[in-house]
Chains A and B, each alone.
Chain A
Amino acid sequence: MRHACLRILRKPSIAAFMLLCSAFAAPLAAQHNGARPAAAASPPEDGQWTMPSRDYASTRYSGLNQITRSNVRNLKLAFTFDTLNRKGHEAAPIVVGNMMYLTTPYPNHVWALDLSKGGRAVWVFRPHPAPASQGIACCDVVNRGAMYANGRLFFTTLDGEVFAIDAKSGHQVWRNKIGDISKGETITMSPLVAEGKVLVGNSGGEMGVRGWLAALDAGTGRLAWKAYSTGPDKDVLIGPSFKPYYASDRGADLGVHTWPAEAWKIGGGTVWGWISYDPQLKMIYYGTGNPGPWNAQQRPGDNKWTTGVFARDIATGQARWFYQSSPHDLFDHDDINEQVLLDMPIHGRMTPVLVRPGRNGYMYVIDRRTGQVYSAEAYGFINSMDGVDLATGRVRMVKEKAPKEGRVIRNICPTASGVKDWNPSAFSPRTGLLYVPHENMCMDEGVFEANYIAGTPYVGADVKMYAGPGGHRGVFTAWDPVRAKPVWEIKESLPLWSGALATGGDVVFYGTMDGWFKAIDASAAGGGRLLWQVRLDSGIISQPVSYRGPDGRQYVAVVTGVGGWAGAIVSAQLDPRDPTAALGMVNAMRDLPGRTKPGGTLYVFALPK
């Protein structure tokens, strides 16, 4: 819009034209908060979707704008594709040229579909992961998708292997087993490929594994560096270039000294979520998972470097800074959520930041260069913490809500799954808002001493979850990262477990666990108005994407297939009579089996020709 106006204005100006232009541009531009994606990490729109997060800045924003607020209600189904898998589908479809690639949950098949032939399957790659890995995956046998780079697809399998395959032929280029299921390690994340490195971390924070992030050479698959989340500095790749902003993160071998003797060896801090990359600073950003066991009384200390964000040099893996969102985590608040790289005004100056909706419920705005926290406001209901002290960076814990051995603490908000779990938000440069699909749930928790037995859970907690205040379990929030407050909220009956998608037509999309795929007015003024929705065969916990098809039209794609931690009651047929099942999640999801069924189908929508 702005572009068109500028062009018109260059011509001999006519008052009427100017009026017209300002009338169109005003509703969005007038309120714009000045936030925009880090330019180097967010290349201009090319109609593709080559990685789950769309770009290194993790905007999940498609600049395509054929589908608009006024025509989105005309969306029609273009084609579907059944993955033949009925577990939880969390992956984003990947679109490169005329091809689309889908990764399935275990057994982690990769399907290649030809978009110029109506989505016909061209090949399928079957990696045959070890069946035993299914029993070690904490929360369904999910996979979060592949990433495309330089003619190759990179993806992971549940049993801890990383694959590179030729995107055209589907032939394997290399494979490298970097996880060990006998220790309880699995891999569920999507790799991030940058600067010739494939970055992958392990899952298994509920199994007493020791977390790490590995960088493999994209050409050969060989290990370039590996950074542990616990243990001595040399294992964590902490050296002279490590300059954390807050004093509590300074000192030698804190990954050893902030634990009881030896406990760091089985202390968790797995890396199973999202990585962002700033090509200008050459730094990657990612979060570490919960410390093990959940029972925090077994691990006095800050438990570095779990439940925090690392900034590292991509070439060497050397840590630059670290910020710990939940020192001595009490509630399984894995800090693995996405970090959206934005440049935005802080005290009137454009500043490179990362914005991350933390699992603990605070929306962190952190300086990408230094790790300084500029703001951390609650974006959901929290009663177990009382804000973040910006002077020390430390979150204030509410004493009465701390779990203690031998009793049950009730009404802890948020739950172990947090105000938001892994499912990523989207940022629109047009509105300057972050669209956050999240949860509104609370829990009762009783902790007890956990035994470490390799390859089995190391948790020590009985949990029971339920809806938070208001009775709704999910929320879709449009958040203004500059003003640090919500602009509007949509209440959802079920917790939101799908990612969000923002588009250039000012329409945002997300899915619900009972299978509604929804289009929402992105604007602040729209107040979260529902523009269109369609009911699909199964619940949605995946990441919707948008792309330009071979015919030049804009498409929106989403995969159904309920599951994951919240949906395992359906995909694994858990028994609702046990409220503690699936780490207490089953209690909150008793109604889900009556509202949806297992599935696994790609749906692609477009406007009629």
Chain B
Amino acid sequence: MSSPFRNSFLPRALPSLHAGRGRGWVRLSKRRFASLAHPPLAPPLQGGGFIALAFLLALAGCDREQRDMNGQPKAETAAFVPRGDPRSAEYENNAFHIAQGQKWFGWFNCSGCHFHGGGGMGPPLMDDQWRYGGRMEDIVASILYGRPNGMPDWRNKITEQQAWELAAYVKSLSAHPRQDALSARADEMSNTEPQTLQERQKVVPETKAQPSGEEN
């Protein structure tokens, strides 16, 4: 980067993000996710097929571009990612994705609000309480669409893959992930222990981690 300061939302030195933006990928995926606000119209997609469909949706959904992009989450537009997305299994407990997620967690300033899981401006992510659900899909939805009490939405700022990788890392903070999937290295300067050495909360049945207000 020539100038160390960029007055935009883009972090410095993010080759993948820049490449993605160059190809218009982020824009397409944004539209695709906008469409997920209406689950019946948008069955879960993956692989190469989604680009084609996203393109169709993009054409069909041009008027959606009127939506507010100022980065403020709106309670009434809160979207969700349907349960049973096959990517859940793909990313959760995957050593590579967790490590990537750990990296993004610092790069995108998640750690500025959630620190290394203990919370600050944002709630703790390492405890067993979830305001909006602790399944992979819920976490991805929290990341992409934001949450009303101050969680920014990231849907036009990071790639979808990064969101799933972030979710894999977030989930690994609180759940009981396979030890061989965790990073034995702490990313930060200070004195947190590597994940493999971290004291874990007692196992709680998955049903406890339901978002409030939604049916089980």
Given contacts A451-B12, A455-B152, A457-B112, contact A580 B126 (CB under 8 A): no
Chain B residues in 8 Å Cβ range of A206: 112
Residue A53 interfacial (CB < 8 Å): no
Residue A137 at the chain B interface, CB threshold 8 Å: yes
Which one of B73, B126, B191 contacts A132 once the chains associate, using CB atoms below 8 Å? B73
Residue of B4, B107, B189 near A447 (CB, 8 A) is: B189
Contact check, A454 vs B151: say whether CB atoms are below 8 A apart. no
Q: Closest approach, in angstroms, between the C-beta of A519 and any C-beta of chain B?
A: 34
Bound Cα distance A92, B189 (Å): 39
Instruction: Answer whether residue B122 sits at the interface, using C-beta atoms and an 8 A cutoff.
Output: yes
Query: A578 touching B117 by the CB < 8 A rule?
Result: yes
Q: How far is the CB of A105 from chain B (nearest CB, A)?
A: 13
Q: How far is the CA of A463 from the CA of B112 in the complex (A)?
A: 11
- Interchain CB contact under 8 A, B150 and A132: yes
A293: nearest chain-B partner, CB-CB = B112
Name the CB-closest residue of A to B8: A454
**Distance in Å: Cβ of A57 to nearest Cβ of chain B:** 35
The interface residues of chain B lying within 8 Å CB-to-CB of A584 are: 190
Tell me the nearest residue of chain A to B106, going by C-beta. Answer: A448
Interface residue ranges of B25-73 to A (CB < 8 Å)? 70-73
What's the Cα separation between A452 and B12 when bound, in Å? Answer: 8
Q: Are A453 and B3 in contact (CB under 8 A)?
A: no
| Also in contact, A577 and B198, with CB within 8 A (given A181-B72, A266-B7, A453-B9) | yes
The yes or no answer to A582 lying at the interface (CB within 8 A) is yes
B85 contacts partner chain A, Cβ-Cβ < 8 Å: no
**A265 x B5 contact (CB < 8 A):** yes
Consensus secondary structure, chain A interface: loop
A131 and B148 contact, CB distance less than 8 A: yes
- Tell me, in angstroms, the Cα distance from A462 to B5 when the chains sit together: 21
Q: Are B192 and A580 in contact (CB under 8 A)?
A: yes
Alpha-carbon separation in the docked complex, A586 to B116 (Å): 12
B123 within 8 A of A: yes
**A575→B118 contact, CB < 8 A:** yes
List B contacts of A574 (CB < 8 A). Answer: 118-120, 124
**Residue A133 is within 8 A (CB to CB) of chain B in the complex:** yes
Q: Is the CB of B189 within 8 A of A408?
A: yes
Does any Cβ of B come within 8 Å of A471's Cβ?
no
Contact status B71-A578, CB under 8 Å: no
Interface flag for A236 (CB, 8 Å):
no
**Cα of A458 to Cα of B7 in the assembled complex, Å:** 13
Would B5 and A452 count as touching, CB distance under 8 A? yes
Binds B, one of A120-128, A256-264, A279-287: A256-264
Interface status of A21 (Cβ within 8 A of chain B): no
CB of B108 within 8 Å of the partner chain = yes
Q: List B contacts of A260 (CB < 8 A).
A: 4-5
B152: A residues at CB distance < 8 A: 135, 455-456
For A181, list chain B residues within 8 Å (CB): 72
A457–B121 touching, CB < 8 Å: yes
Q: Is the CB of A578 within 8 A of B7?
A: no
**Total A-B residue pairs with C-beta atoms closer than 8 Å?**
168
Question: Assuming A579-B192, A581-B120, is B151 touching A135 (CB within 8 A)?
Answer: yes
A457: which B residues are within 8 A, CB to CB? 109, 112-113, 121
With a cutoff of 8 Å between Cβ atoms, the chain A residues found around residue B157 in the complex are 453
Q: How far is the CA of A265 from the CA of B4 in the complex (A)?
A: 13
Contact (Cβ within 8 A) B149 A408: no
Q: A322 vs B106: C-alpha distance in the bound complex, in angstroms?
A: 36
Does the CB pair A134–B150 fall under 8 Å?
A: yes
A568 at the interface (CB under 8 A from B): yes
Q: How far is the CB of A444 from chain B (nearest CB, A)?
A: 6
In the complex, which of the residues B6, B106, B149, B191 contacts A579, with contact meaning CB atoms closer than 8 Å?
A: B191
Chain A nearest CB from B138 CB (Å) reads 17
By the criterion of a CB under 8 Å from any partner CB, how many residues of chain A are at the interface?
57
Within 8 Å of chain A (Cβ to Cβ): is B115?
A: yes
A236-263 near B? 1/0 per residue, CB < 8 Å: 0000000000000000000000001111
Residue of B11, B150, B198 touching A453 (CB-CB under 8 A): B11
A137–B113 Cα distance when bound, in Å, is: 10
A138 at the interface (CB under 8 A from B): yes
Does A609 belong to the interface (CB within 8 Å)?
no
Contacts of B75 in A (CB 8 A): 131
Q: Quick one: which of A134, A447, A451, A464 contacts B191, CB cutoff 8 A?
A: A464
Point out the residue from B148, B190, B198 that lies within 8 Å of A408, measured CB to CB: B190
* In the complex, chain A residues 445-498 whose Cβ is within 8 Å of any chain B Cβ: 445-459, 461-464
Instruction: Let me know if B215 is at the binding interface, CB within 8 A.
Output: no
Q: Contact at B190–A446, with CB atoms within 8 Å?
A: yes
Minimal Cβ-Cβ distance residue in B for A404: B189
Specify which chain B residues have a CB less than 8 angstroms from the CB of A449 in the assembled complex.
12
Please, how many angstroms separate the alpha-carbon atoms of A265 and B120 in the complex? Answer: 25
> In this complex, which of B3, B7, B190 has the most chain A Cβ atoms within 10 angstroms of its Cβ?
B190
Contact between B149 and A131, CB atoms less than 8 A apart: yes
Using Cβ atoms and an 8 Å threshold, which residues of chain B touch A452? 5-7, 11
Residue on A nearest B14 in the bound complex, by CB = A451
Q: Is the CB of A575 within 8 A of B126?
A: yes
Min CB gap B76→A, angstroms = 12
- Nearest residue (CB) in A for B124 is A575
Q: How far is the CA of A400 from the CA of B127 in the complex (A)?
A: 37
CA distance A137 to B126 in the complex (A): 21
Which positions 1-22 of chain B face chain A at CB distance < 8 Å?
A: 3-12
**A92-114 CB contacts (< 8 Å) to partner B:** none
A458 & B192 in contact (Cβ 8 Å cutoff): no
Q: Is the CB of B3 within 8 A of A262?
A: yes
Task: Pick the residue among A132, A136, A445, A573 that contacts B124 (CB under 8 A).
Answer: A573
Interface presence of A31 (CB below 8 A): no
Which listed residue (A263, A451, A461) contacts B107, Cβ 8 A? Answer: A451
If A261-B5, A298-B4, A451-B11 touch, does A446 touch B121 (CB 8 Å cutoff)?
no
Known contacts A132-B72, A262-B7: A581-B116 contact under CB 8 Å: yes
CB-CB contacts below 8 Å: A561-594 with B: 568, 572-584, 586
* Distance of B35 from chain A, by nearest CB (Å): 24
Give me 21 A-to-B residue pairs in the complex whose CB atoms sit less than 8 angstroms apart, sorted by A's number.
Answer: A132-B150, A135-B151, A137-B121, A182-B71, A265-B7, A406-B189, A408-B189, A451-B11, A454-B8, A457-B113, A462-B192, A573-B123, A573-B127, A574-B119, A575-B117, A578-B116, A579-B192, A580-B188, A581-B117, A581-B120, A586-B115
The 7 tightest CB contacts between A and B, nearest first, are A135-B150, A446-B189, A457-B112, A578-B118, A581-B118, A462-B190, A451-B11
New contact pairs (19) apart from A575-B118, A577-B199, CB-CB < 8 Å: A132-B149, A132-B150, A134-B150, A136-B150, A261-B4, A447-B189, A449-B12, A451-B11, A451-B12, A451-B108, A453-B109, A459-B112, A572-B123, A573-B127, A574-B120, A577-B117, A577-B126, A580-B115, A580-B190
